[in-house]
Structure 1
Amino acid sequence: MDHVGEPRAQAGAGEDCGFDRQVRTPLLLHIGYHKTASTWLQSNLFDARDQGFMTDPATPRHALVEALVRPDPLFYDPAAAAAAYRPASDLALAQGRTLVLSHERLSGYPSSGGRDRQLIAERLAATFPEARILIVIREQKAVIRSMYSQHVTDGGVESIEHFLVTPEPRLCRKPSFSLEYYCYDRMLDLYRGLFGAERVLVLPYELLARDPAAFSARIVRHCGGAPAPVGEAKRVNAARPLLMQAVQRPLNMLLYHNELSPGALLHIPRFHKRYARLRPLFAALSPRFLERRLDARLRNVIAAHVGDFYAESNARTQDLIDVDLAALGYTVEGRK
C-alpha cells in the first residue's frame, strides 16, 4: 500500500509515456535529507523520461538555493519565485509529466542544525502550494557519520567531538549542529500541516538498497504515474578514505576561507574541489587497518553521543509512515 496516499489511476492507452495528463502531479519537491541517495534519484529517476519526470532544462540545481533559500525573509517574493519556474512547469504539464525540483538544502543544513528548515518549508508552501513532497530519511547514527564527512569535505574543521557539541556560551550567535535536526516526526508534522498528509511521501533510505524498483515505484505512484524499470542502486558518490578527511581538516583551517571555516590564514579558491582530486591517491595509500580504526572510533563517538535520543521520535515516525523502522536498524522506543 502507499503509506501516504493511495496510488493514482494509471493512464489509458495512447497517452504520452503511459501517463494520464489529468492525474499526473505537475510538481514534486524533493527536499532531501542530505546523504540519502539524492544524486542517485536525480540521475536514475528524476531525469528518466520513461518514469514521467523531468527537471528544469534551463536552470541548474544550485539555482534552487539562490531562488528559494538565500533571499532575506523580508525580501522574498513567492510570486516571483514561482514565476521563474512556470515555463518548466507548463512544459511538464503539457507533456503529462511531473517537474521535479530537487535539492537537499531545502531540508535545512545539518551543520547549522537546520535552523532555517521551517522558514524554507513555509516559503515552499507559499510558492508552490499544489506541489507534492518527497522526504527521504536515514538511520540517524549512520547519516550523522556520513554528514560529518561531508562537513569536512565542504570545508569544516571540527573534530567529531566538537562537531556534535554546541560551543560555549550557547547564545546561538552562530547556529551549529543539533541532534534535534534528525527528529523526523517534527519535519513530517511540519510538511503535512503545510501541504496536507496525502501530498507528503516519506521513505527510508534503507529501502532503496533493498529494493530500488519498489522504492522508485512508490515515488512514481505518489505523483500519479505508472512505474518503469530502474537501474541498480549503486553508490554514486563513493565515500572518501577517512585518512583523506583527517588530513583535510587542518588544511581547511589553513587554506580555505569558507562558511564552515572563516578566517583561514590563506585562501585557495575552491580548495575542496582541488583537494578532491587526491582521492585516488589516498584510496591507494591509506592502510586498511587504519581506515577500520578511524571508522570504528567515529562510529563509537557518535553512538555514545546519540544513545537513545531518537527512540521516541522514531516510534512516532514509524507510526506516521507505516514502515517498520526498527527492522531497518533505527532505534525505536519499545523495540529491541
Structure 2
Amino acid sequence: MEQAKVLIHIGYHKTATSALQKQLFSASDGPFASPHGEQKYVLSNRFVLPQPLTFDSSAIREQYADFLETSRNSGKVAVFSHERFSGYPASGGFDSPMIAQRLKQTFPEAHVLIVFREQLSSILSMYSQYITDGGHKSLKGYLAQIEPMMRRVPMFSPDFYRYDRLFKYYQTLFGPERVHGLTYEQFVQDSDAFVSRLCKSLDISSPQCAFVKTNTKRSQSFQVLQRGVNRIFSNNQLSTGALIPFPYATRRFGKLSGPISRIFPKGLDQMLEQRMAKLVAAQFEGTFAESNANLQELTGLQLDNYGYQLPPDAH
C-alpha cells in the first residue's frame, strides 16, 4: 500500500515558523495536514523531551497511524512541524542530532524542510525571544561562553548557527534528495515563491496563501523592563533563583508589551537596536562565512543575495 507523503519541518527558530504552521500546514483547504494544529507542544513532548533510553520510535509511529492513513486517503502531505526540532539556540542546539535521529527512526520515508535566517539577524531576534521566554541576561551575558573548557551545561554557541552542519547531517540521514533548504529572507520577499519552491520539491500543487503576520515584534525598551521582571520574579530554566518567585510572571507581564511600549520614544528603541546590532556584528565578524559558503554549495541558494556572510571568492 502506498504510504502518505511526510514532511518534517524543523525550523530554524525565528524563520516564520508560526506563519507556516498556522496558515499553510494547518489550512483545511490546502495540500498539507498537521496532526496537532495549535497544540504543537505534543511534538516536543514526544520527540524532544523523552530521555534517550525511554524513546520508542515504534510506539510513537503507531500513535500517528490513523493520521497518516487519513492523510494518504485525502492526498495530503502529513506535516510534523516544530522549530524545537532544530535544537534551542540559547543552549547551543546540543540535542539537535539526537532529535534528528529520532525523527529518522520514526519517519524514515520523510522529506525534511530546513529554513535558514542570516545569522546576525537571527541571533538578535532569538535573544529577544530568550527574554520573552523568561531569560534575564544582557546581550553580552547571553553570548558569553562561561567556562568553555568545562561544558557542564548547554549554553549559547556560534556553532548552532553554522547551518551547513545540521543540513548535511539531515542529508546523511534522509538522503540529499529529500532534504530541502529555503531562507527566511525568501519568505519575506515573496511568500508565494517560497511556498511554490517548497511544493515543487514535494511534487505537489502550490496553494494560494495570503500570509498574515502572526507574531508582533516587541520593542527593545519593553524587553529591558521584561529582563528586570524576569530576574526578580521569574523562576524557570532560563532565569533561576528569583528573588520573589511569582507564578507565570514572565507571561503575565509580557501581555502588557503593547500599551507599555507606546510610552517609550521610537528613538530609544532605535538606539538600543543599533547598539545591539553593533555588538553582534563586532563579535561575529566573518564567523559564519565559511559555513555559509558550504551551505550555498549544498543547497544551491544564492545566500549573497540575502546579506549572509561569505568569503570574498564565494560571491
TM-score computed with the length of structure 1 as normaliser: 0.90
AA at the equivalent of 1:157: H
Residue of structure 2 equivalent to 1:267: 245
1:48 paired residue among 3, 27, 41: 27
Residues 1:120 and 1:273: Cα distance change in structure 2 (over 3 Å): same
1:198 paired residue among 177, 181, 185: 177
Matched residue SS, 1:203: strand
Take 2:75 and 2:203, find their aligned partners in 1: how far apart are those partners? 10
1:314 aligns with 2:297: no
- The runs of 4+ residues in structure 1 deviating greater than 6 Å are none
Once the two structures are TM-superposed, the CA of residue 289 in structure 1 deviates from its matched residue by: 1.0
Residue of structure 1 equivalent to 2:269: 291
Deviations 1:78-101 (A, max 9, x none): 111111122211110111101111
Residues 1:57 and 1:305: Cα distance change in structure 2 (over 3 Å): closer
Once the two structures are TM-superposed, the CA of residue 238 in structure 1 deviates from its matched residue by: 1.2
Percent of aligned positions with the same letter in both sequences? 38
Deviations 1:164-202 (A, max 9, x none): 111136411111100010111101110000000111111
Residue of structure 1 equivalent to 2:165: 186
Matched residue SS, 2:216: coil
Deviations 1:48-104 (A, max 9, x none): 244310111588210111100000001111111111122211110111101111110
Give 5+ residue unaligned stretches, structure 1: 1-20
Greater Cα shift, 149-158 or 50-59: 50-59
**Is the CA contact (8 Å cut-off) linking 1:25 and 1:131 kept in structure 2?**
no
AA at the equivalent of 2:205: A
Deviations 1:249-299 (A, max 9, x none): 121121111011111122222222211211122221111111011000110
Residues 1:216 and 1:200: Cα distance change in structure 2 (over 3 Å): same
Task: Work out the number of aligned pairs and report it.
Answer: 314
Residue of structure 1 equivalent to 2:80: 101
TM-score computed with the length of structure 2 as normaliser: 0.95
**Is the CA contact (8 Å cut-off) linking 1:145 and 1:298 kept in structure 2?**
yes
Give 5+ residue unaligned stretches, structure 2: none
**Is the CA contact (8 Å cut-off) linking 1:51 and 1:226 kept in structure 2?**
no
Residue of structure 2 equivalent to 1:219: 198
AA at the equivalent of 2:194: F
Matched residue SS, 2:25: coil
**Root-mean-square deviation over aligned CA pairs:** 1.7
Matched residue SS, 1:99: strand
